[in-house]
Structure 1
Amino acid sequence: MAEVAQTTAGRTRGMGELIDVEGKTTEIAPFGTTLAALAAERPEIVGLTADMGRYSDILPFRDAFPSRFFNVGMAEQDLIMIAAGLSKVGKIAYCTTYSVFITRRAYDFVAIACAHSKANVKIFAGMPGLVNGYGATHQATEDLNMMRGIADLTIIDPCDATELKQVVRAVADIPGTVYVRSLRGKVPVELNADYRFELGKAKVLREGSAVGIISCGYMSMRARDAADIAAGQGVDAAVLHVGTIKPFDRDGVVAFAAGFDRLIVAENHKTTGGLASLVVEALYDAGIMTPMIKIGLADSFFECGSQEYLEAKYEVDLPRFVRAILENR
């Protein structure tokens, strides 16, 4: 599959790479480099892809351990079934492809061969949401909604290279099947060196008093950037990053939300069935009826285009975050 480039703002960007932000440090292929280092310590780890090695950043693992790497071709159902089979003989199977192909083409295989069987399969699903500019066939904008419905499945949505690397290591010891919304290419390094990923625990990334933002994935970094901008206009926003979608930190979210008169929930996903739905359910059960703005995608299919164009058109870009923080002050 030949790489198709996206040209935006006078520069070229490869498939699935996040928007570059001036002044931010990035790390190249943190998933693959971390997996290769971990595999040197854990001989039971194997890596698989469905002809998406280059676009999932697993090639550093392939190069380090060619005998433990399997490219099954463009066959996502085979990818999941082979990974499940390898887990039956004591392997920890890390498998990668686009998130849209995992969720739409291999859903039953993830549910039955993996989650139901408690298979030691770790799925790193690349380019969720609007990161992919190739239209509805390649944009997994409903994957959280779908995967939440599978019992005994862990779901993680890391926010930057620091957290992604920790997740790569952590999932090796999380029992059963794990679905990770992976980040690829030049991934921003945003979190402090002392940050520690904890399964099922939301983390406050920024303190504030005027408005509370609850977010997941790379939207948490965008939320923090928007909060910094809004602070210059006299509105101080706090940011809670929900890195684990399932198991969901209901208590942590409720405790955070209880401290604010206004809330914003932000996700790189449709606003139905994902983080926003989880937050609404948790707050309703706790008797909290705080006004809430949802930043996310509509219940629609989305067109082709650069990430910058799509995010601006569908209002999940940085200016939308700033407006949400500042309105109704």
Structure 2
Amino acid sequence: MISTTKNRLVIYYLLILFSLAANAQELENGLIGHWPLDGNGDDVSVNSYNGIAYNTTAVIDRNGNSNSALSFDQNGYVALGKVLNIGYEDFSFSAWFRVDPYNTETGMFAILSKSHYGPEPQYAIGIHNNKLRTRFIYNSGIDIIGDKVIDDNEWHSFIVTINRNGNIEMYLDGILDTSASIADSPDFNVTNNFSLSIGQYEYKSYRFEGDLDEIRVYKRVLSGEEIALLSETEFTEEIKCENLITGADESVGIGADNPGGYGLAVDGGIYTDEVKVMNVDSWPDYVFSESYNLMELEALSYYIRERGHLPGVPSAREVFSGGISLTQMDKTNLKKVEELS
């Protein structure tokens, strides 16, 4: 029973893994800034917007890896220079954070900011009184604060998507927290001469207190699957296994409730790059052996007239009723080619 359960779980997670792997490849699409904060302010995206970390400390990240996140206090920040004007584009932010539980300050703690006081076009994401906050300033602009209070000293994922023809949406740990319409923003150029910073606004204000990790900026709106991947949560709207059927004999069917003695049965097509068959018990090179009894042409002609197919090859009726074994058919086809050689 333990072996059966284990095998089912392995196959189940492999199916999910294959689904997620395809989506993971898309996480590089439109990525214009990526700061892992592995003890420094380096940008590992193609743009290499490398920053300088001031008064920060390398700490253990959410996965227990040493020197793989940065800790900030009232003096710490990462200076990135005058980069990443969004212009007229859609965009998304992603970050992991943990707020210092001993901090007694209130107000805004900036995570990523190209912002300053005043009416100029600008953007920033951060934490405001233990809630998510996003500032997207254009004309009158918008400044939204989340609903959920975060005060547990745990790592959390913060993702913001900005659709210039639709909404700003803020996600906490992969779940939508708050949204607001910005449908009037498509023609507004979000460009300024401010410096981009991690952990503060320009001119050393609104500094973050706590730990930050894995900050990303995309020049597009992230999909639900991508938000789930970046938040390390399950995207239940798309990753479904209602048609996964497991048998007591450890067989698995996808859309097929009777695997028919095989380890895996699929109702529908299978799309893959390669199939490799192991444990083949014989191969028709024996046709070239001097002891092989090759059918005479006259006998072969008579067999075909009587039965309507080559000897050793299944008839159309047999194929329609029972299917074919690809391994056996490959062997049979090769045998017929070698018999003609």
Q: TM over 0.5: same fold? A: no
Which bin holds the TM-score, normalised by the shorter protein? under 0.3
- TM-score relative to the length of structure 2: 0.24
The structure with the largest helix share of the pair is 1
Q: Which has the higher strand share?
A: 2
